[in-house]
Structure 1
Amino acid sequence: MRYLELVGAPPPGAPRFFRLVADSPHVDEARLLEWNASTEDALTALYAVDGDADAFAGEVGDSSVVVGFDITRVDDDRFYMLVVGRPSEAPLFQQVVDSISRMGLIVATPVVYREGTAQFRIVGESEVLQSMIDAVPAGFEVDVHSIGTFPDEATAPTRTLSERQRATVTAALELGYYESPRNATHADIAERLGCAPNTVTEHLQKAEAKLVRAAMRGPVTSRD
């Protein structure tokens, strides 16, 4: 199984909603988490957004593609948004989605919108992925940022851990080391594993560094 990592900007004439999600001054980043075609001409999508909920809601309500939306705030700078839209108002995007579905490919979530672009991965067989690039309709420009084997460390970050690092993190989780407040110390983990506390410290530091790097790397941006 392979993936294509693609980066593209909403094309000229794209519905205002897509341009807002990608490049609104009130949004630092938006992540499309899930979507579902609820009816023939209605698509429901769930976004996680870093930005100003009130200001963005005022903009979204003025977009022809949006039938309705609901916002749940996490804090002052983060919110979730459930959007019901009309695919018929975005024929170019619908054409791309239909091509992906017809070819038996999958768009891996999240789709990340930031700095005026959408960044996403399409997963499938190598030959079909090449056909997908050839089938991108005129007017929808995307760049192939990378091609790789799925999953990789970005989609399955624990694959980067050594056996001892994985065992140490697992023991730490089971003992409550990552609870707040912590229910275990490095000495407790060391006793469980039958090693010295400084060995636990070393394994946790290396494992946490790998996991954080993989989590923060995420989908690419145009600056990468």
Structure 2
Amino acid sequence: MKRVRITLDPTGEFAPPLYERLAGGASYLERAWIVNWNVARPPAAFLLWLRGDYRRFEAELESSETADEYELLPIGDRECHCFLEGEVAAAARTLFENFTRGSLLTIPPIACNDDGTNTFSIVGTDADIQAAVDGVPDEVGVTIEAVGGRSVAPESAIGRLSPRQRAAVEAALELGYYAVPREATIEDVARELECSTATAGEHLQKAEAAVLHDLFDR
């Protein structure tokens, strides 16, 4: 058996509106994870873990045409679990099912990254993992982040960062943004990433929050 950590970049019909809100489309959410799910038959059900001003997400659910039932279960002022049941487009359902065939097990949570991607681990035979990767539609980008390891979860805080967050931190370190005294500005980081200053700052802030939460076992 093998463990592989994968990042998918769904677009179009493979990225429903609510998913887009979870994966970087809602600035008030710091992080979002899909903790568990059942897409075996309609309606699909999901258990989410949200960090940020999650109460604003409730308004999104209230107005959504695809969310039939939902309930927010607060963990604290800025964290909650969210049970969500509703309709999922056939394309998105197929993408989920692609990683449940044969020996494959998808290990929760699925991290919804702020650049629209999602990252998760699967465990299974070499043949089934290769078939799943080959079965990803052309409209969905797929990146193998890691192969093997001693556990099925990310083994360090770095493994919890989205690709864009990791790129932002690597650029900031290389430029001297974290040097003492500081040798680069957030504008320098943004220029290196070819994005806006606000976007670069958001990537760094979310990466720093993820690392600190991991360090203090939150």
Shorter-chain-normalised TM-score: which range?
0.5 to 0.7
Does the Cα contact within 8 Å between 2:107 and 2:152 map onto a contact in 1?
no
- What is the one-letter code of the residue matched to 2:108? T
Displacement of 1:216: 3.3
Correspondence for 1:216 among 132, 143, 157 = 157
- 2 CA distance for matches of 1:10 and 1:119? 11
Alignment of 1:128-139 (within 5 A): 128-139=128-139
**Residue 61 of structure 1: SS of its match in structure 2?**
helix
One-letter amino acid matched to 1:58: A
- What are structure 2's unaligned runs of at least 5 residues? 167-218
Distance change >3 Å, CA 102–CA 4, structure 1 → 2 = same
Shift in Å at residue 63 of structure 1?
A: 2.8
Give deviations 1:30-64, integer Å, cap 9, x for gaps: 11111224x73112211111011221111233333
**Deviations, residues 182-213 of structure 1 (Å, cap 9, x unaligned):** xxxxxxxxxxxxxxxxxxxxxxxxxxxxxxxx
1:26 is displaced (CA, Å) by: 1.6
Is 1:32 the counterpart of 2:34? The answer is yes
Q: 1:91 to 1:138 in 2, by over 3 A?
A: farther
In the alignment, the residues of structure 1 paired with residue 160 and residue 3 of structure 2 have an alpha-carbon distance, to the nearest angstrom, of 12
Question: 1:153, CA displacement in angstroms?
Answer: 4.5
Match of 2:180 in 1: none
Per the alignment, residue 188 of structure 2 pairs with: none
- Structure with bigger gyration radius: 1
* % same residue: 20
2:64 match: 63
2-structure distance, mates of 1:20, 1:28:
11
Q: Which residue of 1 aligns with 2:3?
A: 3
Displacement of 1:123 in angstroms is 1.2
Match of 2:100 in 1: 101
User: Relative to structure 1, is the Cα distance of residues 140 and 106 closer, same or farther in structure 2, using a 3 angstrom cutoff?
Assistant: same
Contact 2:23 2:113 in 1 (8 A): yes
Amino acid at match of 2:105: I
Computed over aligned residues only, the root mean square deviation of the Cα atoms, in angstroms, reads 2.1
Moved more, 9-18 or 71-80: 9-18
Aligned partners of 1:81 and 1:3: how far apart in 2? 28
Residue identity matched to 2:60? E
What letter corresponds to residue 29 of structure 1 in structure 2? R
Distance apart, 1:119 and its partner CA: 0.9
Aligned partners of 1:60, 1:19: CA distance in 2, in Å? 13
Cα distance change of structure 1 residues 219 and 103 upon mapping to structure 2, 3 Å threshold: farther
Alignment-mate amino acid for residue 105 of structure 1: L
Which whole-Å CA distance do the structure 1 matches of 2:159 and 2:73 have between them? Answer: 24
Aligned counterpart, 1:209: none
Letter of the 2:135 counterpart: A
Q: State whether residues 107 and 120 of structure 1, in contact with CA within 8 Å, keep that contact through their aligned partners in structure 2.
A: yes
Match of 2:184 in 1: none
Shift of residue 217, structure 1, vs aligned partner: 4.0
TM-score (norm 2): 0.67
Q: Is the 8 A contact 1:20 1:60 kept in 2?
A: no
Q: Size of the alignment, in residue pairs?
A: 162
Contact residue 16 and residue 92 of structure 2 kept, 8 A: no
Offset of residue 101 of structure 1:
2.5
| Alignment-mate amino acid for residue 78 of structure 1 | E
Q: Report the equivalent of 1:194.
A: none
- How much does 1:154 deviate? 6.1
Task: For structure 1, list consecutive stretches of 5 or more residues without a partner in the other structure.
Answer: 158-213
- Secondary structure of the equivalent of 1:100? coil
Q: Deviations over 1:6-29 (max 9, x none)?
A: 112331242111101111112111
